[in-house]
Chain A
Amino acid sequence: GESVGLHLPTLSVQEGDNSIINCAYSNSASDYFIWYKQESGKGPQFIIDIRSNMDKRQGQRVTVLLNKTVKHLSLQIAATQPGDSAVYFCAENHILTGGGNKLTFGTGTQLKVEL
């Protein structure tokens, strides 16, 4: 079946270091992926997305890498700050029959930034 999972449930990094959060997916037909950040008591917040015709996409302090050969996705956060502490989810996008899109989420990785 389809699944999207994360390798590490908790990641602790020092402030100023780079963070790498990993994600594996199983559906080789997936063509669109999204990273979300969820802070305590809030809803998931869109960070960055990538389409399967790309292998890298950069945003502000974040980079997403896609390796379709091994069905692996990663989120890199440069110069991690205390405000980056949150749970990070990768999501795999499927187009629904009715025309919307469905996201299949992993269980999330807790990023803790130590001062």
Chain B
Amino acid sequence: NAGVTQTPKFQVLKTGQSMTLQCAQDMNHNSMYWYRQDPGMGLRLIYYSASEGTTDKGEVPNGYNVSRLNKREFSLRLESAAPSQTSVYFCASSLRGGRYRGNQPQHFGDGTRLSIL
């Protein structure tokens, strides 16, 4: 049981390049999330998927797109990377969603460290 797995762990891009960050969870969770973590700013929600087949914007969605490929996988895409998107990106999942409505903690992967030059 690996929990939440993110790939790649590190990536360096040039401004204007595109890339997709991958996330998969094996806990049969309904909801999945993408956050970015910047120094002094905590974690901020980029996009989320409350259940398979749905996605919604979070606090800082500009410059990103997401795809909930199936119940296990939720990817984050940068279409044209900018230096301001240099950050550590975390994927998380929680049981909440679908038929389950109770409060549940989110479980995080170990992050993708992305640098854009």
Residues on B lying within 8 angstroms of A by beta carbon are 4, 30-31, 33, 40-43, 45, 48-51, 54, 56, 58, 90, 92, 94, 96-98, 101, 103-111
| Alpha-carbon separation in the docked complex, A20 to B45 (Å) | 27
Closest to B106 in A: A103
11 intermolecular pairs with C-beta atoms under 8 Å apart: A31-B103, A32-B103, A36-B108, A46-B105, A99-B30, A99-B97, A99-B98, A100-B94, A101-B31, A101-B94, A102-B48
Residues on A lying within 8 angstroms of B by beta carbon are 31-32, 34, 36, 41-46, 49, 51, 89, 93, 95-103, 105-108
Residues of A within 8 A of B51 (CB): 98-100
Residues of A within 8 A of B103 (CB): 31-32, 49, 51, 93, 95, 101
Q: How far is the CB of A63 from chain B (nearest CB, A)?
A: 17
Docked-complex contact A97 and B56, CB < 8 angstroms: yes
Residues of A within 8 A of B104 (CB): 101
Q: How far is the CB of B20 from chain A (nearest CB, A)?
A: 19
Asked, given contacts A32-B103, A96-B56, whether A45 binds B96 with beta carbons under 8 Å apart, the answer is: no
Closest to B93 in A: A100
Instruction: Pick from A42, A102, A108: contact of B45, CB below 8 A.
Output: A102
Q: How far is the CB of A97 from chain B (nearest CB, A)?
A: 7
For the complex with contacts A96-B50, A100-B51, 20 further pairs of A-B residues with Cβ separation under 8 Å are A32-B103, A41-B110, A43-B92, A43-B108, A44-B90, A46-B105, A49-B103, A96-B56, A98-B54, A98-B56, A99-B31, A99-B97, A100-B31, A100-B33, A100-B49, A100-B96, A102-B33, A105-B43, A107-B40, A107-B42
B4, B92, B105 pick with most chain A CB within 10 angstroms: B105
Asked, given contacts A41-B110, A43-B90, A45-B108, whether A98 binds B42 with beta carbons under 8 Å apart, the answer is: no
Closest to B99 in A: A99
A42, A95, A96 pick with most chain B CB within 10 angstroms: A96
Docked-complex contact B96 and A106, CB < 8 angstroms: no
